[in-house]
Amino acid sequence: MSESVVQAIQEVRQRIQAAEAAAGRPDGSVRLLAVSKTFPAAAVREAYAAGQRAFGENYVQELQGKAAELADLAIEWHFIGPLQSNKTRIIAETAHWVHSIERLKIAQRLSEQRPTQLPPLQVCVQVNVSGEDSKSGCAPEDARALAHAVAALPQLQLRGLMCIPEPTEDANRLAGQFALLQRLQDELRADGLALDTVSMGMSADMAQAIAAGSTMVRVGTAIFGARHYHS
């Protein structure tokens, strides 16, 4: 087993703990999702051996392949990428969580296609908190209606909201975007939805996300190293 993945996971756990403490939040209030996209199944095995159980993937075929290859492990698979309607069935049958719900039609398909012998698919609504055209997610003003509609679907369980903020060095801008997601989550809870998940924070901004209320950080690079995309 390579020292590096195991060591990196330990360092990330320490960073999470330090950020929880700095924000005056209880130890263990933030879950770590290890984002393994582009890394081979062997890397996931190493992280698993270090005690990591939740893994995130962005590409449908890649998740499907790794889930099959790693079927001997008790992994909780999280789909965090853009999802097209012709790929929903694979995700409904393979994933435990989907963080990237941005349209009701996709959520309806996932609910219809979720095998009834499996527990409901755990989902988050993704919100475009930066307003960038290039970004996935529903508009902040549409989040409330979409979340209520998703929460009503029988084979889905809405757990909360997810965002990918604008990549920026400006700490105030970043904090404002995280705060927007947290405010939307608070509104939904005030409406009576039982939500427990705010999925925000990646390798570069996990401490700020935790300060802003994140309950799940999605960390790839800081665990597995830099990604190399092949065409």
**Residue 138 interacts with ligand PLP (CB under 6 A): yes or no:** no
CA torsion, ordered 136, 55, 70, 102, to nearest 10 deg: -20
Instruction: Between 17 and 203, name the residue whose CB sits nearer to ligand PLP.
Output: 203
**Per CB under 6 A, does 23 bind ligand PLP?**
no
Chain residues 187-226 in contact with ligand PLP, contact rule CB under 6 A: 202-204, 218-222
Using CA atoms, how far apart are residues 187 and 182, in angstroms rounded to an integer?
9
Q: How far is the CB of 51 from ligand PLP (least distance, A)?
A: 19
Question: What are the helix (H) ranges across 95-170?
Answer: 104-113, 143-151
Nearer Cβ to ligand PLP (110/209): 209
Q: Is 5 in the site for ligand PLP (CB under 6 A)?
A: no
- Give the one residue of 5, 164, 184, 195 binding ligand PLP; rule: CB under 6 A: 164
113: buried, middle or exposed (CB in 10 Å: 19+, 13-18, 0-12)? middle
C-alpha–C-alpha distance, residues 198 and 216, integer Å: 6
**Under DSSP, is residue 156 helix (H, G, I), strand (E, B) or coil?**
strand
- Between residues 78 and 109, which has the closer beta carbon with respect to ligand PLP? 78
Q: For ligand PLP, which residue has the nearest CB?
A: 220
Among 9, 34, 35, 60, binds ligand PLP (CB under 6 A): 35
Q: Is 66 or 155 the residue whose CB approaches ligand PLP more closely?
A: 66
To 10 degrees, the CA torsion angle through 197, 150, 53, 24? Answer: 0
Assess 80 for contact with ligand PLP (CB under 6 A). Answer: yes
Site for ligand PLP in 56-75 (CB under 6 A): 58
Binding footprint of ligand PLP, residue count (CB under 6 A) = 13
For residue 168, state whether it binds ligand PLP (rule: CB under 6 A): no
**Which strand (E) or helix (H) includes residue 73?**
none
Catalogue the E-assigned strands of the chain: 31-35, 54-57, 76-79, 97-101, 121-126, 156-162, 197-199, 216-219
Instruction: Retrieve residue 29's tokens.
Output: 């209030």
Q: Which is nearer to ligand PLP, 24 or 229 (CB)?
A: 229
CB of 221 to ligand PLP, least distance (A): 3
